[in-house]
Amino acid sequence: MSTAPLDQVFNLEDMIPKAKGNPPKFVRGTKKQKEYVIPGSSRQGRGFSYPWADPSYCVGDWFWKPVSPEDWYAGRGRPNQPSPRDVGGRKWSTSKAYREDTKQHGYYVERTA
């Protein structure tokens, strides 16, 4: 019996660490996983290859942008959210964080409006 359909339902395929050379751009988080995110310091970043205007993301939904510990400590790799007028009025909050469940450094990005 294959667990592939269940992995897709529970978004588990995104939680499996990828090869060191090609980490995922971002990983959509669940409400349960949110409690494992430990906030770090805030700092601006850059980029526009994230689901800023994705209609499936509602207020309170979030995604995780993993980065290497070196980039995390140096403040590199932070997703830079666009202006709300550019993405249909959606607002996002980005914070530097560490995930205890996956032992990853990265950035926690939550839709706030």
Domain count, the chain: 1
Q: What are the pLDDT digits (tens) for 29-72?
A: 888 887 767 665 455 544 346 888 888 899 999 999 999 999 99
- For residue 77, is it left (φ>0), alpha (ψ between -120 and 50) or beta? left
Distance CA 102, CA 93 (A): 21
Determine the pLDDT at residue 41.
46
Check whether 73 has a pLDDT greater than 80: yes
Determine the pLDDT at residue 28.
84
Check whether 7 has a pLDDT greater than 90: no
* Full residue range of the structural domain in which residue 19 is found: 4-111
Distance CA 113, CA 111 (A): 6
User: How distant, in Å, are the alpha carbons of 9, 24, 74, 88 from that of 68?
Assistant: 27, 12, 10, 32
Percentage of the residues of the chain whose pLDDT score is greater than 70: 67
